[in-house]
Structure 1
């Protein structure tokens, strides 16, 4: 059991960056891969700040691209630790972009990264417990518990489901696929 606890607020971190033409994709919007790179950086910074150790990305659990980001907008990413396990943390990240000429702010992305704390030898390191100080933090923690449960259920389904059964193959006929097994 943890004897050290830290508040969610102690993990809070934000970064802002002006979006340049060099960050665009072929449609002229900011490239999702560039945003993913920034998300990984802030998840690392947030988790490392919270636990005081080097952290690695174990999984990118959710990345919801909600609205496109334009060249010239100021992107701000806000991250906090929403859940802690023994050596892992789930970091929630909110991405907003601001039109710096009009001041209009839009929510562009929500993401959740699972980060793992490492010691100097590269082994998993225990993280502090999490102090939940308000109902929003309780909601986020509870949502992480649901997310973990769904992930485990998906893994169990993958292990137990027989993809080659006649029933499973017949069930795929309602989708836009044709099965041509050799």
Structure 2
């Protein structure tokens, strides 16, 4: 029982800290209950941006409305249908093509949308890419591997250098 209460408290703290740090920008995370909210951010037709907490890691990924399934990259392909958050916004979020081999990642006019973290070490941002005949949403690492870490249908992962990243502009 105390582990369940501690987990809920941790999620509440993460949400409060995230909401405070994003107060200048109009995006937020809602609990996903099986229905897509009208203010949900779309990544592609039938694909939304989800977030799941697992092993001290907050993982961004794809939420497929057709089967209510979250798929993200966590040392390979990770899937779940429970305890999912969905990214929502009333503001202007946009997908921007980047090539991390050629173009600087930072943009003074826009801010990357933070999608999660791993421990106290890495922040994850949100990227998308059309791969294996479908749109996939996954984590973008800037500090560690400087790529979109994308899950594959076989269960492994690949690092993509040219993809779209989600940004918000004031």
**Structure 1 length as normaliser, TM-score?**
0.26
Bigger radius of gyration? 1
Higher strand share: 2
**Structure 2 length as normaliser, TM-score?**
0.27
